[in-house]
Structure 1
Amino acid sequence: MEKKDQELHFFVTKSDQERIHQKMAEMGIHSKSAYLRKMALDGYCVKLDLQDVKELVSLLRRCSNNLNQYAKRANETGSIYQEDIRDLQARLDEIWQCARELLSRLASIR
């Protein structure tokens, strides 16, 4: 990563500074230099609500746990129940549906 060794200075009005702080707070950004650098270079900051990603990770975790349990049972008994396979397929379908919706929303960010 390149070292940040160049300074930029500029003046704003009190109301400009208040607005900058308000926008930083809305974005959850605490570093003024990071916010101003991002705005100067890219012209925008994006705040993502990652609750859907957390839900997707939770679904994946549960599905993985179930799959491990099914594999353990199959290794112990030499067989697996058809109902277990259907349950796993239903959970995987739910995960894929969440993933498609999430990716669709992320793709629409401009």
Structure 2
Amino acid sequence: MAKDRANRTRKNELKIYLSDNEKYILDRKVELSKRKSASDYIRTLILFGFVYDVDYSYLRQYNETLGKISGNLNQIAKRINSTGNVYKEDMAEVKVIMDEVWKTQKAMLKKQPLIHNK
């Protein structure tokens, strides 16, 4: 048995033997899952029956786009507040920006695996 450490919460060691092929497959699956370790991967399999990795990089892009849109809207709001006037050009720009928001929202939702797109 491995050396017990005072702060170790998992004290039960599991030892298994794998063929070279099985070890290769395990290593690739651990790598693809982006888990911290093979132990973490195996523990997740035991507890939940499956391991999956979700790529949320598109959400980062979505948030960047929304940040840019927010900046544009803030500039329009400042202009309106400083002059006290609402210009047709400002309202047209707001409509264009809102169209971009909806287009981005729809694109993000299409990437969601559990949402049925029509």
Choose the corresponding residue for 1:108, options 91, 96, 114. 114
Q: Deviations over 1:4-49 (max 9, x none)?
A: 4343514131332221110111222232222112111122222222
Moved over 6 A (4+): none
Distance in 2 (alpha carbons) for counterparts of 1:4 and 1:108 = 35
- Aligned CA RMSD, in angstroms, stands at 2.5
Larger fraction in helix: 1
- 1:80-95 alignment runs, 5 A limit: 80-95=86-101
Larger RCO of the pair (alpha carbons < 8 Å, separation 6+): 1
TM-score, structure 1 as length reference: 0.75
The answer on whether the counterparts of 1:38 and 1:44 sit within 8 Å (CA) in structure 2 is: yes
Gaps of 5+ in 2: 1-7
Q: Which runs of 5+ in 1 are unaligned?
A: none
Q: Does 1:43 align with 2:49?
A: yes
Which structure would you say has the larger Rg?
2
* TM-score, structure 2 as length reference: 0.71
Matches within 5 A, 1:1-110: 4-13=9-18, 14-108=20-114
Q: Is the 8 A contact 1:63 1:88 kept in 2?
A: no
